Amino acid sequence: MRWAVTFGAIVGALLITQSALAQNLSGSLRPEVRPRGDEVSRAASIPILVVPGPSVSRPKLRPSAVSEKAPPQVAPSAKDAGFQDWRVGLRARAQAQGIRGDVFDGAFRGVHYDPDVIKRDRNQSEFTKTIWEYLDSAASNTRVENGRAALRKHRRVLEAIEARYGVDKEVVVAVWGLESNYGTFRGQSDVIQSLATLAYDGRRGEFFEQQLIAALRILQSGDTSPREMTGSWAGAMGHTQFIPTSYLDYAVDFTGDGKRDIWSDDPTDALASTAAYLAKFGWEKGQPWGVEVKLPRNFDYALAIRTVSRTPARWARMGVVGMDGKAVSNHGQASILLPAGSQGVALMIFDNFGVIERYNAADAYVIGVGHLSDRIAGGSEFKASWPRSDRALTFAERQEMQQRLSAAGFDTQGVDGRIGPKTLEAVRGFQREQGMTPDGYASLELLQRLR
């Protein structure tokens, strides 16, 4: 079930202005991702979505059947008139899938077409950050300190969650930190209105209608009420930003109150649901997501791909060792990942990297969660430097690179502005031809050479 296995498959990260990166930690940090089948986002240029400022924390009280507040009313438009006509057909389709009419009508009371949601959806690919800029915020000292404070405050429940699901508590806290800044930015968009707008819009209508029907099922189950079902503009909800289908499949009632409550101020059910999700996809307690390593001077960069895996001992025989100069401990098969090419941090990644990836398929996000969890647990910052003189390629520049690579005989098999395996293979081919280090790093320097 590819659509349901990634909480982050429909949402981007917050783009925080450079001046606020070290200060404003009120928003989530979720790189834009696609469903896992696309296998993209393997370079340092991370698409980022701009989202406005922090939400107000919502009350803990679960609503009763009445006293609903409808979304703010706006002047009707031609688009909204079409939306209201579409809603009639949707109601019939929802009822055919088991949604009661009263549940549908209550959910759609006051709901209208929201053009701001469409604007955000269209603009996702236009903004980029380098991996180091992303990590500067994702694992900043402030976010680490806040994570340690959250761990202390909720230690008892986190230890109980860890004992039940076998997922390291620091990783659960790190997901919480990146998704909602430890619950302080859970999103205040009306989820029904957002999902209905995206479903009606049609660009990814089938997917968003699936999420909308799932949201209606949640309401019908009584876990929350329509106007309390708030979240991101794209429908991700609660402390750890579940999309509705993922909620239905993986959310748990850890408190035992009969509700799987991921929205209230109490984060218990949300944190337990995150652990349950990671456990479902094979989390191995005590195994690192990744370890920073040193590469030998003669390293074959063709081996730095996810499809090549070795034991740490075998990597050590090839000269790939931990930052202490010793072989990395044997935690199973591992691959080498170079998120910023040969001039940046080198990582030896294990199976748990792929488990976090099921939550959000962008490498930057996985590294952010992993590194933040390590820092919360007392680990150090990465020791190697990043190529901070570089800048991220824009969406248009990534498209241009693909066009020029294909024209030069290195087929990227499409021009979509996303740096996936085929584009990286083409980059490596061009780098070899040019006598460059074939590390697959899609840099501005490479684009300039292509030009």
Three-class secondary structure assignment of 219-284: HHHCCCCHHHCEECCCCCECCCCECHHHHHHHCCCCCCCCCCCCCCCCCHHHHHHHHHHHHHCCCC
Q: Which residues contact 448 (CB under 8 A, 6 or more apart)?
A: none
Question: Are 36 and 5 a contacting pair, CB within 8 Å?
Answer: yes
Which pLDDT value is given to residue 203? 84
State the residue range of the domain holding 424. Answer: 395-450
Domain count, the chain: 1
Q: How far apart are CA 173 and CA 376, in angstroms?
A: 9
Query: Whose structure tokens read 């390293």?
Result: 299
Q: How far apart are CA 249 and CA 261, in angstroms?
A: 14
Cα distance between the two ends of the chain: 42
Q: How far apart are CA 362 and CA 356, in angstroms?
A: 10
Q: How far apart are CA 11 and CA 284, in angstroms?
A: 27
Alpha-carbon separation of residue 146 from 133, 265, 321, 349 (angstroms): 19, 16, 32, 26
- Is 310 contained in some domain? no
Give the residue from 388, 276, 284 showing the smallest Cα distance to 334: 284
- Is 413 contained in some domain? yes
- Is 115 contained in some domain? no
- Is 440 contained in some domain? yes
Which pLDDT value is given to residue 127? 57
Q: How far apart are CA 395 and CA 376, in angstroms?
A: 33
Q: How far apart are CA 7 and CA 31, in angstroms?
A: 12
Q: If you ran DSSP here, which 8-state letter would residue 124 be given?
A: G
pLDDT in tens, 382-431: 999 999 999 999 989 999 999 999 999 999 999 998 888 899 999 999 99
- What tokens appear for 78 in the block? 């031609």
Q: How far apart are CA 48 and CA 50, in angstroms?
A: 7
Question: Are 362 and 32 a contacting pair, CB within 8 Å?
Answer: yes
Which pLDDT value is given to residue 262? 97
What are the helix and strand counts (H, E) for the chain? 17, 8
Mean pLDDT by 10 residues, the chain (451 residues): 38 32 46 36 36 30 34 58 94 98 97 94 73 96 98 98 98 98 96 97 92 98 95 96 97 97 97 98 97 97 94 98 97 97 97 96 95 98 96 92 96 90 93 94 94 95
- Is 436 contained in some domain? yes
Q: How far apart are CA 216 and CA 108, in angstroms?
A: 10
**DSSP-derived pairing of the beta strands 335-337 and 346-349:** antiparallel
Q: How far apart are CA 34 and CA 128, in angstroms?
A: 16
Which pLDDT value is given to residue 62? 29
188: how many CB neighbours lie within 10 A of its CB? 14
DSSP 3-state assignment of 123?
A: coil
- What tokens appear for 427 in the block? 């980059």
- What tokens appear for 380 in the block? 């150090």
- Is 439 contained in some domain? yes
- What tokens appear for 183 in the block? 């619950």
pLDDT in tens, 137-158: 999 999 999 999 999 999 999 9
- Is 415 contained in some domain? yes
Buried/exposed 165-174: b ≥16 CB within 10 Å, e otherwise = bebbbbbbbb
Which pLDDT value is given to residue 124? 65
Which pLDDT value is given to residue 123? 74
- Is 340 contained in some domain? no
Q: Phi first, then psi: what are they for 270, rounded to 5°?
A: -65, -45
Which pLDDT value is given to residue 189? 95
